Amino acid sequence: MTPANAFAAGTTTLAALPLLLLTSSAAFTPTSQRLPYVRSYHGCAASHTTFPFKAIGYSTPHTGAHTLVGLARRSPSFNAVGRIMSTADVNAGETTTAEGGEELWWKAVVFEDAALPESVLKDFPILSTMVGAEGSEESEKKPLVYLDSAATSQKPTFVTDMLTDYYLKANSNVHRGAHALSREATGQYEAARDAIARFVNAFSRNEIVFTSGATEAINLVAYCYGRKNLKEGDVIITTELEHHSNLVPWQMIAEETGATLKVVPVSDEIGTPNWDAFRDMLDRSVKLVSIQHVSNVMGCVNPTADIVDAVRSKAHPDAKIMLDACQSVPHMTVDVQKLDCDFLAASGHKLCGPTGIGFLWGREELLNSMPPFMGGGEMIDEVYNDRSTYAKAPARFEAGTPAIAQAIGMGAAVDYLNGIGMDRIEKYEQELGAYLHRRMEEVPGVTVLGPPSGGEEGRAALVSFVCDKVHPSDLSTFLDMEGVAIRAGHHCCQPLHRALGYSHSARASLYFYNTKEDIDFFVEKLEETLKFFGNLAGGPDGEEGGDNFVPFI
Ligand SMILES: Cc1ncc(COP(=O)(O)O)c(C=O)c1O
């Protein structure tokens, strides 16, 4: 069947497909004219029936047109007339050996600390679960290979037990009651603050403000510090690589205060911020610099010591430096005293803790010089009908009933990480990340984003990439069918992707619980998927691709 009559052959159920397919891959910036895609759908409005299926075809990005080539229905009863499309169909029996019998370097690699992920596997039951693509049968499920820890990490039982224990044995409001449970809850909540303060080597426990996450922490500084201290003529500097949560708040506060926001562009060569351009931006008008410690897309570790030196010597004497440490705190020893910044934000859920919690570290005198973020209980000293006085930090910034269990869970998470040792985690991840990076660089048709590994500042254990022939969403859908969880999208970094000339990328991100086998399996499935799409795209115009692709409607 040719693409042209594919729709005509459809039943009433298939009649809704053109509508669905219009939402497909047209936004991607491809290098080729025709971009193959695979899309998972569940249900069809036209016939009011519900069934999961995959649509495979080409999109022509410039016109937005889509050509449906095949449908794969993921139901055993449908196999009689069709077949389930999977990468295994394409490469059954193939192994990843080099042509000509050449020795493959990566097969011989053994990580120095391979015992680390083995020793923690029992702590993460989720890593031993079976997963399936949307609508898949139990029998189709595959072992989970979780490569999305930069989005959120998995949680060890040490943390989940702590959460359960808290709710079962200590649940109460904090700082309020003189009863036993309240004392217990308050004790655990404040012990979590101590744990975080030690974890980042704060000067004082009062410097740790619990927030809902890094986003709230950055907004807190933008509003509380920015509103009071920024005005027209002042300059805020951030970079083009930032997560939206370290860009949009500064745009908003610049608009409100009249300050100017300057954005350090990404450098063309290696995809790190252009630090020369940054230095050129620095003068006495610069009042605030807010940058990532580690990029969630490019994986670069920013040279914070140089940045801090440059700001301290060239910017306004009162200029403040904020670090978005979301992607560093979970993976390496972060010492705010050594970093010599003024504010630092991180999220609990990326460091084995629960969602809904993170923290802001700020120098104590600075926090106490800032107005509160929100008004309400806990943040006050005295309240009258017409005015109030405020508590000192951290209570000043923790209005209302806080996320008590989540804070305790985040405290447990850092205890857990300390139990392993941050130096050990960092060392292992350096090896793991460099291995992933090198393997990815050798996959034909893949462009790896960001700097090379082995650089002076190091590289985080994550790799973002784009493929010549496959949209990142389609790739992740396909890998999902193999149990591999990666991230596809702009990763909350639209300006960065725009600067690089892509609308999206795919990202595999690692944590200390990942193994060499995880990476090998991912790369194997990636290669298979790319071959599959290569076949699909390979035929002359108007024909389906290689022999391995069997359309069936
Ligand atoms: C570098 C970076 N900054 C900020 C954030 C925002 O964190 P959250 O959504 O937990 O507030 C993220 C989350 O992905 C991130 O990677």
- Average confidence (pLDDT) per 10 residues, the chain, 553 residues: 29 29 32 47 34 50 48 36 30 45 86 97 98 82 97 98 98 89 97 98 98 98 98 98 98 98 92 96 98 97 97 98 98 98 98 98 98 96 97 97 98 98 97 97 95 82 94 91 95 95 95 98 96 66 40 31
Mutation test of ligand 1: which of 492, 496, 509 has the most ligand atoms closer than 8 Å to its C-beta? 492
CATH 3.40.640.10 domain locations along the chain: 157-419
Nearest CA to ligand 1 atom 9: 215
CATH 3.90.1150.10 domain locations along the chain: 99-154+421-538
296 CB less than 6 Å from ligand 1? yes
SS3 48: coil
520 CB less than 6 Å from ligand 1? no
Q: How far is the CA of 152 from the centre of ligand 1 (A)?
A: 9
**Nearest ligand 1 atom, CA 349:** 10
Spatial separation of the C-alpha atoms in residues 369 and 318, rounded to whole Å: 13
Residue 38 has a pLDDT of 56
Complete DSSP assignment for 391-437:
PPTTGGG--SS--HHHHHHHHHHHHHHHHH-HHHHHHHHHHHHHHHH
214 CB less than 6 Å from ligand 1? yes
- Residue 144 buriedness (CB in 10 A; 0-12 / 13-18 / 19+): middle
Mutation test of ligand 1: which of 292, 300, 326, 360 has the most ligand atoms closer than 8 Å to its C-beta? 326
Q: How far is the CA of 93 from the centre of ligand 1 (A)?
A: 41
245 CB less than 6 Å from ligand 1? yes
Residue 392 has a pLDDT of 97
Complete DSSP assignment for 443-511:
STTEEE-SPPTT-SS-B-SEEEEEESSS-HHHHHHHHHHTTEE-EEE-TT-HHHHHHHT-S-EEEEE--
Mutation test of ligand 1: which of 210, 243, 291, 329 has the most ligand atoms closer than 8 Å to its C-beta? 243
Q: What's the CATH architecture for 99-154+421-538?
A: Alpha-Beta Complex (3.90)
Nearest CA to ligand 1 atom 16: 296
148 CB less than 6 Å from ligand 1? no
149 CB less than 6 Å from ligand 1? no
237 CB less than 6 Å from ligand 1? no
Q: How far is the CA of 214 from the centre of ligand 1 (A)?
A: 6
Residue 102 has a pLDDT of 67
Q: How far is the CA of 285 from the centre of ligand 1 (A)?
A: 28
Spatial separation of the C-alpha atoms in residues 87 and 386, rounded to whole Å: 68
467 is catalytic: no
Q: Please report where in the chains the tokens 């984003």 appear, as a residue.
A: 449
Residue 131 is inside which H or E element, if any?
Answer: strand 130-131
30 CB less than 6 Å from ligand 1? no
Among residues 383, 375, 379, 411, the alpha carbon closest in space to that of 398 is found at 379
Spatial separation of the C-alpha atoms in residues 340 and 342, rounded to whole Å: 7
Q: At what angle do helices 422-441 and 404-420 cross, to 10 degrees?
A: 80
272 CB less than 6 Å from ligand 1? no
**Nearest ligand 1 atom, CA 151:** 14
From the candidates 326, 341, 467, 492, give the one annotated as an active-site residue.
Answer: 492
Q: What's the CATH architecture for 157-419?
A: 3-Layer(aba) Sandwich (3.40)
SS3 44: strand
The answer to whether residues 264 and 240 touch, using CB atoms and an 8 Å cutoff, is yes
Q: At what angle do helices 404-420 and 180-199 cross, to 10 degrees?
A: 40
Residue 457 has a pLDDT of 74
SS3 349: helix
CA 382-383-388 angle, 5° bins: 85
SS3 330: coil
